Amino acid sequence: MLTFGIEEEYFITDLHTRHMVGEPSAAVLAACRQAIGPDFALEMFQGQIEVASPVFKASSEAADYLATVRHNLARSLGAFGLGVVCAGSHPLAAWREQTATDRVHFQQLFEDIQYVARRSVLCGLHVHVEVPAGIDRIAVMNQVSPWLPLLLLLSCSSPFWEGAPTGFMSYRQAACDEWPRMGVPEHFTDWSAYLRYLALLQRVGAIKADGNGWWGIRPAARYPTLELRMTDACPRLADALVLATLFRVMVTHACALEHPGAGFTAEARWLLKENRWQAKRYGAAGSFAPDDQGTMGTAEQWLLEAQRIFAATAGAMGEPQLFDDLHRLLASGNSAVDQLRCHADARASGADEHVCLQQVVDRLLAQSRAAH
């Protein structure tokens, strides 16, 4: 059974105004650190924090751990009149009001990337899955990459930005496209090609000696893992867990193949990019082409194809309920659908726009602190 880890990012939020906190006090950050423990990490902005989990062997371990983290954060921050929102974007965050974290790494990012970095008030769900020694991580990445838009469309949670609807289900992914080396990775044939790419960029000074890409999927630099980065942070913990499980199943399936990634052609990458556009723009309402042999289909059809391919692996991993959970998520709607529905209901009741957005934030706060 391949081990895995999960990273979640959170916006510290004022329970009265429902705005993201621009500059939390030292006492607030100390409370967050104590609530999370040694897995606490700072993020680019002071009002944003991260948990980088320990290594797990089973979904139940991840569920218990993250439920405890969310509960402890809600309890500790509640004493300060604060809470956390775990979503791809915060409906009432204003990027100009955010204070950069005073760490060399982050300050260098702000210097290099400028306004693109300063506007990146975003939270993601990152999942690391072990790739056993002797298996080419780039080959596994190529095998899994065509499925990234399916993972994204199920995770979409960033329909609002700067207090307004964006027309995107994952505005976070639209914003990510402003960064270098984000989104869909370059087409590497194998690990040696990937190393040549890094060496080239290091040689010309484009990245540092230990530099890497921020793509939606990548081989981690510090761990022997493949890291999923494309998915939005999920306010409902159950969504995060089912997506982490699906990614684990996909990586496990790829590792068991004799020649993983052999079918990842230029055409497959072209379709990956088009499917990602559909996912970030329309979420589950998009039209998707799983391969170049047929026509565009629905998210439901694509999920059924995933079930056909991966259900046996899920069962062998002790996750026989996986696709039932995924079909329920698709039927009920991702977080973006839920947020837009909440916003529409508030408008229908006669609330003004700011109150509508406050109600969306209230919903996200409640979901982010719930145990499961």
| Statement: residue 294 has pLDDT above 90 | no
Neighbour tally for 227: CB within 10 Å = 22
What is the number of H-type helices and E-type strands within the chain? 14, 9
The answer, as to whether pTM is greater than 0.85, is yes
pLDDT of residue 292: 75
> Would you state the structure tokens that stand for residue 256, as one six-digit string?
């068991």
Q: Which two tokens stand for residue 293?
A: 């042999």
pLDDT value at residue 140: 98
Beta bridge pairs of residue 127: 6, 228
Q: Which residue has the tokens 């967050």?
A: 32
pLDDT digits (tens, 9 = 90+) for 44-99: 999 999 999 999 999 999 999 999 999 999 999 999 999 999 999 999 999 999 99
> Which two three-digit tokens encode residue 286?
């998009």
Banded pLDDT at 210 (limits 50, 70, 90) = confident
Kindly report the average pLDDT of the chain as a whole number: 96
Can you give the pLDDT at residue 6?
Answer: 98
The whole-angstrom distance between residue 120's C-alpha and the CA centroid of its chain comes to 14
pLDDT value, residue 120: 96
Place of tokens 């409902």: 236
Number of other residues whose CB lies within 10 A of the CB of residue 120: 20
Query: CA–CA separation, 8 vs 52, rounded Å?
Result: 7
In the chain, domain spans: 4-369
CA distance 95 to 261: 39
Q: What percent of the chain has a predicted confidence (pLDDT) above 70?
A: 99
**pLDDT at residue 372 tops 60:** no
- Distance from C-alpha of 68 to C-alpha of 34, rounded to nearest angstrom: 13
**Pairing relationship of beta strands 225-228 and 160-161 according to DSSP bridges:** unpaired
Predicted local confidence at residue 82, as pLDDT: 98
- CB within 8 Å of 191: residues ≥ 6 apart: 136, 137, 138, 139, 219
What would the mean pLDDT of 214-236 be, rounded to a whole number?
Answer: 96
Paired tokens of 315: 């069962």
User: Residue 288's pLDDT is what?
Assistant: 97
For 107, what's the count of Cα atoms within 13 Å in the CB-facing half-sphere? 4
Question: What pLDDT score does 305 carry?
Answer: 96
Q: Is the pLDDT of residue 236 over 90?
A: yes
What's the CA gap between 106 and 323, in Å, rounded?
Answer: 39
Considering the domain 4-369, what is its CATH architecture? 2-Layer Sandwich (3.30)
pLDDT of 295 reads: 83
The span from the CA of 49 to the CA of 61, in Å, is 22
Q: What pLDDT does residue 371 have?
A: 64
Residue 282 above 60 pLDDT? yes
Q: What is the pLDDT of residues 261-277, one digit of tens each?
A: 999 999 999 999 999 99
**Pair 243, 6: CB distance under 8 Å:** no
How many C-beta atoms lie closer than 10 Å to residue 328's C-beta?
12
pLDDT at 219: 97
Question: Residue 56: what pLDDT?
Answer: 98
Cβ contact 25:77 at 8 Å: no
